[in-house]
Structures are given as structure tokens and as C-alpha cells.
Amino acid sequence: MQPFQEQIDRERQKIAFLQKKIEECQGRIVALMSLGADDEIDRLMDKAHAAPIAIEFSHAHMTMRGDTDKERRKRIPPNWVALIDFLGENGKTFRQVEEFLGSGGASMTPGAARTGLMNYRKEFGFVENPRKGFYKATRKGLEAIEAQKKESLA
């Protein structure tokens, strides 16, 4: 046996492993190239780097505006409709929110709920956080989900 044979074999194993990874990456590149043109989100992200995006609330939709007059309307996701409705005007503790999520009331993790609650508070004014660990839906938030529910029925 040659000196350092074990180390040489180990290095060859590393090379074989890395070659497989390179092939996987090349396959992903081919798949991405086959997708063609940018999608709507790519264009939105390009605009975000060129100019800040303002987000406004309009009835049951969140309206996103870039640096053009084109508007993109986005419905409030069903899991957030359920969570905001659950909070109500009286509010809930985050512990109650976690229990609601655990019972299948809305499909998201507690971490995503905490982050989203802050986003819906700051960006849209749908949620208030009057004290640590306590959240309640604003009238604006409740009106938004009610308007969206009515649109869904129509």
C-alpha cells in the first residue's frame, strides 16, 4: 500500500461528491434557462431596486405601486383572513394565537404569524399591538376581511 493511501482515497471521494453536486447545479441552471422570460415578481423586484414600492390599502386588496402607474392588486391570503378575524377588536394574546394555529385555525408557523402580525400592523394598519404579546385587529383590518369575504361570495 502506498503511503497516504487512505488520505488519497478520501480526497477522491470528496472529488466524486463535488462532481455530483456540480452536475446537480448544472441541471438546475438548464432548468432555469428553459423557463424563459422573467415573471411578474422579477419585474416587481427590479422596480424595487430602482425605486421604493409604496403599499396602500384599498378595500379588500393590498395595492402595490412601483414607479409606474400600473397597480397590482393582491388579495389577503385566506390564512391571514382567518387570523385577523380570530383576533377581532377585543384582541388575543400571542399564546392564544399559537393555540389557534396549533388547532388548525390558520396554516402558518408561530414565527411566521409573529412576523406577519408586525407587517400587517406597520404596512397596512390591519393589526394593533397595544402591549407586548397582545394583538388586536383594527376596524380597518376587519373591514378589509369582510369586504374580501363579500367579494368571494359574489
In 3D space, the residue among 119, 137, 128 whose CA is nearest the CA of residue 83 turns out to be 137
As a whole number of angstroms, the distance between CA 42 and CA 34 comes to: 16
| Over residues 98-104, mean pLDDT | 92
Clarify whether residues 92 and 28 are in a common domain: no
Burial 111-133 (b: 16+ CB within 10 A, else e): eebbebbeebbeebebbbeeeee
Q: Between these two residues, 61 and 109, which has the higher pLDDT value?
A: 109
Cβ contact 97:83 at 8 Å:
yes
**Overall pTM > 0.95:** no
Looking at residue 54, its amino acid is A
What residue spans of the chain are helical by DSSP H? 5-34, 40-50, 78-87, 94-102, 110-119, 139-153
Long-range pairs, 92-100, Cβ under 8 A, ≥24: 92/134, 92/135, 92/136, 93/133, 93/134, 94/133, 94/134, 94/135, 95/133, 97/135
Q: What is the pLDDT of residue 69?
A: 38
Residue 140 falls inside a structural domain: yes
Of the pLDDT bands very low, low, confident and very high (cuts 50, 70, 90), residue 87 is: very high
pLDDT digits (tens, 9 = 90+) for 6-49: 999 999 999 999 988 888 877 777 666 656 555 566 666 666 55
Q: What range defines the domain where residue 9 resides?
A: 1-36
Q: What is the pLDDT of residue 64?
A: 44
Here the cell at position 16 is: 466524486
* 122, HSE (Cβ side, Cα atoms, 13 Å): 7
Whether residue 4 is predicted with pLDDT greater than 70 in this model: the reply is yes
Clarify whether residues 80 and 139 are in a common domain: yes
Residue 58 falls inside a structural domain: no
Residue 120 falls inside a structural domain: yes
Residue 139 falls inside a structural domain: yes
Clarify whether residues 31 and 82 are in a common domain: no
Count of domains observed in the chain = 2
Of the pLDDT bands very low, low, confident and very high (cuts 50, 70, 90), residue 67 is: very low
Residue 28 falls inside a structural domain: yes
Clarify whether residues 27 and 80 are in a common domain: no
Q: What is the pLDDT of residue 150?
A: 80
Q: What is the pLDDT of residue 43?
A: 61
> If residue 72 lies in a helix (H) or strand (E), which one and from where to where?
strand 71-75
Clarify whether residues 149 and 80 are in a common domain: yes
Whether residue 83 is predicted with pLDDT greater than 50 in this model: the reply is yes
pLDDT digits (tens, 9 = 90+) for 32-42: 665 655 556 66
Residue 66 falls inside a structural domain: no
Residue 64 falls inside a structural domain: no
Q: In CATH, what number is assigned to the domain containing residue 127?
A: 1.10.10.10
Residue 62 falls inside a structural domain: no
Clarify whether residues 84 and 30 are in a common domain: no
Q: What is the pLDDT of residue 95?
A: 94
Instruction: State the chain's mean pLDDT as an integer.
Output: 78
